[in-house]
Amino acid sequence: MEAAAGPGPGPGPGASPEEPEAPERRRKAHGMLKLYYGLPEAEAAAPGATPDPRDPTDLNGAHFDPEVFLDKLRKECPLAQLMDSETDMVRQIRALDSDMQTLVYENYNKFICATDTIRKMKNDFRKMEDEMDRLAATMAVITDFSARISATLQDRHERITKLAGAAGAGRGGGAAGERGGRGRGGAAAERGGRGRCRVGPCPRRCPQSSFAGVHALLRKLQFLFELPSRLTKCVELGAYGQAVRYQGRARAVLQQYQHLPSFRAIQDDCQLITARLAQQLRHKFRYRLLGFPSPQPPLPPGPRQLVPWYGPLPRPVLTSVSPPYRDGGAGAPELAECVELLLALGEPAEELCDEFLAHARGRLEGELGSLEAELGPSSPAPDVLEFTDRGGSGFVSGLCQVVASYQELFSAQGPAGVEKLVAFARELGSRYFALVERRLAREQGSGDNSLLVRALDRFHRRLRAPGTMLPAAGLTEGATEIVERAARERLGQHLQGLCAAFSGCLTDVRQALAAPRLAGKEGPGLGELLASVSGAILGHIKASLAAVHLFTAKDVSFSNKAYFRGEFCSQGVREGLIVGFIRSMCQTARGFCDSPSEKGGATPPALLLLLSRLCLDYETSTISYILTLTDEQFLGQDHSPVTPVSALCGEARETARRLLTHYVKVQGLVVSQMLRKSVETRDWLTTLEPRNVRAVMKRVVEDTTAIDVQVGLLYEEGVRKAQSSDSSKRTFSVYSSSRQQGRYAPSYTPSAPMDTNLLSNIQKLFSERIDVFSPVEFNKVSVLTGIIKISLKTLLECVRLRTFGRYGLQQVQVDCHFLQLYLWRFVADEELVHLLLDEVVASAALRCLDPVPMEPSVVEVICERG
């Protein structure tokens, strides 16, 4: 405990009794340290208690006695409190040690900072001494220069005095002229620098005012005297602007006093130097136009040997250097300065304009020449995007710089200068447009619209800048017209592509129909071919719409033009592309209805059937779908009339009807040819008794069945009349009906042929008329009915032209019964087949020399066996 209490914070031997406030300050600092290190507040003295300064037990007092303090603790405190006091005392001692170390470190840091500051002050004082030495040397140099200037002015004193006298005399003479002859001649020279004070009238001479006037006059005279040398120096140093300003300041004075010899000499020298300056500015102007990095040409041989400014210049050897309108306008300030200085020297502005445009024309024509070389017949066609990029970065950028530079340099030339620039831009712009159109014309065989649209977009964007800068040239309008023509040509190419795709699909169908069928393998049916053709055509239409839709994309610069918001959508895409293709498709399909001599070859009947169904599907749904899709993608603002959907559907339906009618005629002609040849090539008078059905009749039934299957693949069944129960049981004979029995019974005698014919004709008047070429409906029954009518009508007409024997009549009877057994099921009304076959048998009976019919039972047996 004593050891712990030993180093207490007492006053110590060094404490001064004259400072009673020191213990109080230390107590406050100690309390603040306790608060900083988080010591308990209970350890601090009570705020209201005032300790006795002579208490020997006060740790912070001046009269603290450790022995008394320990005795008091042992007497008053228990062991636990003594242990707590010891712990608290140790903590306070450590805190005090930490405070002492902190104070020592702070004092040490302050000492280091003071040492650094002193060292820095020493260095600064050394620098100041060096600067003072340099200042003294500079002052000595200035003194030397002042002495030399004074000596130089002393040598020229006489000439300055002479010029001053001449100026004074001239001024006096001028004043005398103004006073109307009352001048004093040389009095002004005598008065020299005498003058009046500018503040106001002075009754006596003001020495200060007289001295200021003489000093100003001497400065002006010195400037005039040094003007030739100054101009020469400025020209040599390339300070052309300063030289022109000097000349402008002295021009009026030299012009006014040119009658004096001294001033005339100065004026002559200045004129020679000014001529050299104008010539050098001309060279600089031309060099900057040619693109030289160092525009200062060699000076002429002497001041009086002037070379014309329009003389030849050396050819530029640094071809990699760009003219001012190619390098982003880096040389434009120098050109502006040259033009401004030349105009200030009195050079004609028209010549400068013409020369500027002539050099610009050479550069831009070089760009056009390089673009034209790419379009030569020997070189391959460049990529359209790269071509427009080169044209935009080369020609269009150069034209923009030329226009901007011209407007900046010659803005004060009025309408005449603007007209020259407009004619210049219009001429070169038209040549550039012609090259772009030549390149776009080579894009006819290309199907990539994205590349073309990007190229047109960049072309149009590039030309907006010169068009905005020079609206009178019409560059923006020309670019828009080119884009519109390119869009129209692209629409025409897509229309041709759709027509070619349709023709290709028809060629594929022809090949598929004509391809030989391998054993065990069946080719694609008509339904599959129809689906593939319809899908392929629709796919091509959608691809074309997507391709041309790029012209109206929002990120394309020309999509907001009136043409692409109106006419392009309605008249170009809808009418020109979609409606035009549908009509072209219908026209192509109708072309297959022509005769073989006009088409150069027969058309497969299956192709006619497929095309008719395709046109019918278009009339039913496809046309409406395509036009709705087109209207949704191309919302045009054009209110011009368009083709209604109903008109297109009607055209497609009419085409389908014509194709189906032609199909019926073709197929009926095929069957009719077989029947006609079978009748015409047989000798019906000497034929044998029939034992079988002829093979041609079997072939007719087979072909009709095949046609029925073929038509059924594409068309619905259709409506039939109610069939009788004995359709397949009917047997053809010359007495097959009661009506015919009465008609033919008395007629089979040689004595009454005319009565038989008369009865037959009367019977035809009351029978139902059969229209062989009646309109064909879009169903299978109607198609087969038309084919069978044509076939049986042909058989009837051929039978009427032949003469039959007994067995010939019986053979016809057998063949007709066989046809009746199978053909009635294909037609809408079986009575039609019965009537036609009745007429065939009746006609054969009329043309028979020995009309003896075969028994119906025998006919049935033969047909069943056949």
Distance between CA 565 and CA 862 in Å, rounded? 77
**CA 248 – CA 258 distance, rounded (Å):** 15
Q: Mean pLDDT across the stretch 59-69?
A: 83
pTM of the model: 0.62
Q: Measure the CA–CA gap between 362 and 333, rounded to whole angstroms.
A: 21
pLDDT exceeding 70 applies to what percent of the chain?
72
Distance of CA 403 to CAs 429, 433, 704, Å? 12, 18, 82
Q: What is the mean pLDDT of the chain?
A: 76
Q: Please give the residue that has the higher pLDDT: either 808 or 228.
A: 808
Q: Where are the alpha helices (DSSP H) in 410-525?
A: 415-441, 449-469, 475-514
Whether 531 has a pLDDT exceeding 90, the answer reads: yes
Residues 6 or more apart in contact with residue 808 via CB below 8 angstroms: 682, 684, 685, 687, 802, 844, 848
Residue with tokens 């104070």: 103
C-alpha span between 530 and 515 (Å, rounded): 17
Whether 510 shows a pLDDT value over 50: the answer reads yes
Q: Would you give the distance in Å from CA 743 to the centre of its chain?
A: 88
Q: Which two tokens stand for residue 287?
A: 């060099």
Of 143-152, 302-311, 359-368, where does mean pLDDT reach its minimum?
302-311
Residue 122 dihedral angles phi and psi, to the nearest 5°: -65, -40
Ranges 288-292, 541-545, 583-587, 615-619: which has the least confidence = 288-292
- The residue that leads in pLDDT, 760 or 430, is 430
- Which pLDDT band holds residue 468 (cuts at 50, 70, 90)? confident
Q: What is the pLDDT of residues 316-370, one digit of tens each?
A: 333 333 444 444 444 556 666 777 777 777 677 788 788 888 888 888 998 999 8
Q: Any idea which of 27-31, 46-50, 60-64, 197-201 has the lowest mean pLDDT?
A: 197-201
DSSP string, 652-716: HHHHHHHHHHHHHHHHHHHHHHHHHHHHHTS-SSSPPPP-S--HHHHHHHHHHHHHHHHHHTTS-
Q: Specify burial of residue 570 (Cβ count, 10 A radius: 0-12, 13-18, 19+).
A: buried
When pLDDT is cut at 50, 70 and 90, the band that residue 153 belongs to is confident
Domains of the chain, by residue range, sit at 1-8+26-44+54-155, 348-473, 493-514+524-660, 684-865
Q: What is the mean pLDDT of residues 29-36?
A: 64
Q: Do residues 740 and 628 make contact, with C-beta atoms less than 8 angstroms apart?
A: no
- pLDDT for 287 equals 63
Residue 156 pLDDT > 70, yes or no? no
Q: Lowest-pLDDT range, 79-83, 382-386, 723-727, 767-771?
A: 723-727
Question: Which has the higher per-residue pLDDT, 59 or 817?
Answer: 817
Decide if 647 contacts 617 (C-beta within 8 A): no
Q: What pLDDT does 27 receive?
A: 66
pLDDT at 538: 94
| 366 vs 445: which has the higher pLDDT | 366
Rounded to an integer, what distance in angstroms lies between the CA atom of residue 782 and that of residue 835?
A: 17
Helix, strand, or coil here: 848?
strand
Amino acid making up residue 264: R
Mean pLDDT in residue range 87-112: 91
Higher-confidence position of 279 and 569: 569
Q: Which tens digit of pLDDT belongs to each residue from 198-240?
A: 434 444 445 555 667 777 777 777 777 777 777 777 777 767 7
- According to the model, what pLDDT value does residue 75 have? 87
pLDDT of residue 59: 77
740 pLDDT more than 50:
no
Whether pLDDT at 570 is above 50: yes
pLDDT greater than 60 at residue 808 = yes
Residue 620 pLDDT? 92
Confidence of residue 622 (pLDDT cuts 50, 70, 90): very high
Top-ranked range on mean pLDDT: pick from 59-68, 509-518, 780-789: 780-789
Instruction: Say what the pLDDT of residue 163 is.
Output: 60
pLDDT at 333: 67
Helix axes 695-712, 806-823, angle to 10 degrees: 20
Count the helix, strand and coil residues of the chain and give each as a percent rounded to the nearest 5: 70, 0, 30
Over residues 819-857, the pLDDT tens digits come to 999 888 888 888 888 899 999 999 999 999 988 888 888
Query: 262 or 725, which is more confident?
Result: 262
CA distances from 625 to 521, 532, 538, 619 (A): 36, 18, 10, 10
